[in-house]
Structure 1
Amino acid sequence: MRLNFLDSLYARPGPYASVYVDTSRDIDDPDKAIELRRRHARSDLIELGADPATAGASADAVGTDADLPGRHGQALFVTHGELVLTEELPQPPPVDKTGYALLPDAMPLALQHAPDIPYAVALLTRVEPKDSDTASGDLQVELQTGRWPSSSVAPRALTHRRLPIHQWHQEAGRLAGELTHLMDLGHADTFVVCGDTWARGVLVNRLPAPVRNRVATVPGNGQDVETGRALLEPQLAGLFRDRLSAHDRDRLESFAAQRARHPAGEGLSATVAALQRGQADALVVNYPAEEWPPLCIGTAPDQIALSAADLQTFGATGHEKQPADAALLYAAVTTGAELIVVAREKTPLEDGIGVLLRY
């Protein structure tokens, strides 16, 4: 998973207020609950040492996702009184969490972006004619692309088309060409299709064989998704559970081959060493994430170490001790490394972390 969505967090110096809050709308009187969370976020940040402007900007942003229905959360990052990044979370945090430190606490957000699977979905619905003299009715076509699971709470625009049934053969050919181009560009790993059986068959048969092999058919009619959520969200959740994107599968295979040759890329110490040398192509992290001891960082992205004494060997004149997950993610983003999140039971790692080496 590429981490460019976090670039803005490291473009300016901290300290950062980091807030993770449940802003779900599927409860009684959600506005009252969110107002309470807003007050707690402000007071907690003041208690942690945040300046009033930063605490106020953080609290003011809590609940600004009121248009999003259902169960979800928010991640907010503020520095020097300015809101730098806010994102909706597909799953609310188990408990609300606030932090104030030199580095943003962005690992929980990154983990909620995984597996970051690009996909395209089509829902085909036959609309029966109201007039008995009309021959065959219309076909309603709804199309959407996204990256799972973040698209569940930040869906892209939904395209609607409606056409007479007898025109579907011709339209399906054009649509198949669009989908093939999308998948050739890497903007979709999977094409998810749902709805009328005959219309599905016509469309899938017009896809080239390599694309047909990446088609997934799911049941349903799309009516069980609220406005503002991803099209076919429940079906996508089941389809993509415990899966990786094609990009991450390739990277994990490379890591497995590297691991078979030598174990130098596994464990916290090996990962830190690779980041120090700028040799980390991707961090491989087990989920649920492990608790690591704090790390020391300097002023440059590659100045990261297990201890202050180790950091001094890189010429660092000073150091800050930071939570390990925040420091590792900072070093990964600023040195161009990626993140691969894998279930512990499928790929157990020493210390719950490994590194795919760049060289």
Structure 2
Amino acid sequence: MSDPRLVKLLGRPGPWTSAYVDGPSVLPQVEEEALRRSVRERLEGAGAPADDAAAVESTLAARNGLPSPSARVVLVSAGRVELDQGFVGARIGPERLDHAAVPRLLPLLHHLGAATRYLVVETSRDGADIHLETSGRGRSDADAEIEGDTDGITKVQAGGWSHAAYQRYAENTWKKNQDEVAAAVSDLIRQEHPAFVALSGDVRARQLLADALTDTERELIVDVDAHTRADGADSTELDAAIARAIAERDRSIIGELHDRAAADSGSGGAEGIAEVTAALQQARVETLLLDGRMLDDERTLLALDAAPWVAAAESESLGAGVLATVPAAEALARAAVLTDAQVLIEDDEPTADDAPREDRPVRDPVAVLRWADDTGARDES
């Protein structure tokens, strides 16, 4: 489903000034000022009005509280900032500075499409800290702390009958505490539908918590063998496990989309600019998948001011006005947003830092359709 604020934004007249740049850094103030000044000058060189370029520069000067590195998208029209959004993590690709009849959406959609909602549970025998997170935001969506019973929390090394009794008492206390944590986790899973649950903390507490969850809930657990709830604990292992889980989820989603688009001789999907454009014109696209390399592709389409929103030629506009000739990926993504479709961008698999980029052609856009059209099934030959 499209972001309602983007749909509203795209309904406003242009032209638009767009900036996709690095967020606040740890550079000395004089160097940051020079970078912002460079952004303003390059925007003016791209045709942006002075008021727009100045608005971008002023917006970038206002720190948004995100840690470095981060990325920032700013969209301005008629000297007014219509969107300013930051994302934790480095930019995905080069800076984009542009002035055109329609806003440059792909950097923003790239980050939004990669966002993953998940739970982080850092547990110990006396309770847990629970965080609902969305990747790229740099802050928790919600936090909860479960403070369990601490009476007799440590197993006492006594002898004979009293030793066994204390052991049982301590174990029962741990179990009671983790039952309480499990109830809170179950509620969040049911309400928020996280992609996974990153579970770290004391090893026995993790075991008891997992035992208290249902089989379906346990399938969401990404177990992290690190006691991150301890004072001064290092979160490196937890952060790495979360990154791996997000990457695995992304691969799974992309693979599923390709499978759905190809099923039944391709009747439920569209592939290639012409097919995908036609499907968007009919508002049949549920999810649009673009190759990350298509962001720099030289092919173009027409962006329209009303439905069908995108066309290869004016003869396909159905009476809508032509706003501009724009890169094909931007035109397809804009039409997808305006017809309530999801947009995802498929990046190359990560390689070693010093490995050369794979030499391959740009993959065609792929769409999963809302309803199949048997007459439009792709030829398997």
TM over 0.5: yes
Give the secondary-structure state (helix, strand or coil) at the position aligned to 1:220: coil
Instruction: Indicate how the Cα distance of structure 1 residues 343 and 124 shifts in structure 2: closer, same or farther if over 3 A, else same.
Output: same
Greater RCO (Cα-Cα under 8 Å, separation 6 or more): 1
Q: Are 1:100 and 2:80 counterparts?
A: no
Of 232, 235, 241, the match for 2:247: 241
- Aligned partner of 1:20 in structure 2 is 20
Residue deviations 1:309-339 (CA, integer Å, cap 9, x gap): 443xx12354421222222221111111112
Q: Secondary structure at the match of 1:340?
A: strand
Shift of the 99–182 alpha-carbon distance from structure 1 to 2, 3 Å rule, reads same
User: Of 282, 285, 288, which residue of structure 2 is paired with 1:280?
Assistant: 285
Q: Output the amino acid matched with 1:338.
A: Q
Q: 1:225 touches 1:232 (CA, 8 Å); kept in 2?
A: yes
The alignment partner of 1:341 has SS state of strand
AA aligned to 2:15 is P
| Contact 2:98/2:104 (8 A) holds in 1 | yes
Offset at 1:275?
A: 0.8
**Equivalent residues, number:** 335
Within a 5 Å distance, the mapping from 1:104-253 to structure 2 comes to: 104-125=103-124, 139=126, 141-148=128-135, 150-151=136-137, 153-163=138-148, 164=150, 165=153, 167-185=173-191, 187-222=193-228, 223-224=233-234, 232-244=238-250, 251-253=257-259
1:255 to 261, 267, 271: 261
Which residue of 2 is the match for residue 267 of structure 1?
272
Distance 1:335 1:146 in 2: 28
Identity %: 23
| Match of residue 331, structure 1, among 324, 328, 335 | 335
Q: Distance in 2 between matches of 1:334 and 1:32?
A: 41
CA contact (8 A) 1:3 1:339 kept: no
Of 346, 363, 366, 1:354 maps to 366
Give 1:117 deviation, angstroms.
2.5
Aligned-residue CA RMSD (Å): 3.1
CA displacement 1:47-74 (0-9 Å, x = unmatched): 2232332222211111433532231121
The CA deviation string for residues 5-51 of structure 1, in whole angstroms up to 9 with x for no partner, is: 633532422222111111253x542x333212211222222222323
1:147 counterpart letter in structure 2: T
> For 1:117 and 1:196, how far apart are their aligned partners in 2?
26
Gaps of 5+ in 1: 127-138
Q: Secondary structure at the match of 1:240?
A: helix
The 1:154/1:285 distance shift into structure 2, 3 A limit, reads farther
**Is the 1:219–1:235 contact (alpha carbons within 8 Å) kept by the matching residues of 2?**
no
Q: Which amino acid aligns with 1:159?
A: A
User: What are the superposed Cα offsets for residues 275-321 of structure 1, whole Å, 9 maximum, x if unpaired?
Assistant: 1111111112223445151211221141311233443xx12354421
For the 8 Å contact 2:300–2:327, the answer to whether it is kept is yes
Shift of residue 349, structure 1, vs aligned partner: 10
Going from structure 1 to structure 2, the CA distance change for 1:317 and 1:125 (only over 3 Å counts) comes to closer
Provide the rounded CA distance (Å) in 2 between the counterparts of 1:261 and 1:49.
Answer: 43
8 Å contact from structure 2 (residues 121, 129) kept in 1: yes
Q: Residues 280 and 335 of structure 2 are in contact (CA less than 8 Å); yes or no, is this contact kept in structure 1?
A: yes
Q: Which residue of 2 is the match for residue 131 of structure 1?
A: none
The answer for the alignment partner of 1:7 in structure 2 is 7
Query: Residues of 2 paired with 1:350 and 1:323: CA distance?
Result: 14
* One-letter amino acid matched to 2:106: M
d(CA) in 1 for partners of 2:239, 2:74? 24
Aligned to 2:37: 39
Q: Does 170-179 or 217-226 show the bigger shift?
A: 217-226
| Superposition map of 1:67-82 within 5 A | 67-82=65-80
C-alpha contact (below 8 Å) 1:297/1:304 kept by paired residues: yes
Match of 2:85 among 87, 92, 97: 87
Larger % of helix: which? Answer: 2
The TM-score, its normalising length taken from structure 2, stands at 0.77
In structure 2, distance between residues paired with 1:252 and 1:349: 18
Between stretches 244-253 and 177-186, larger displacement belongs to 244-253
1:88: Cα distance to partner?
1.5
Higher Rg = 2
Gap runs ≥5 in structure 2:
154-169, 350-359, 372-381
**Contact 1:23 1:73 (8 Å CA) reproduced:** yes
3-state SS, counterpart of residue 184 of structure 1: helix
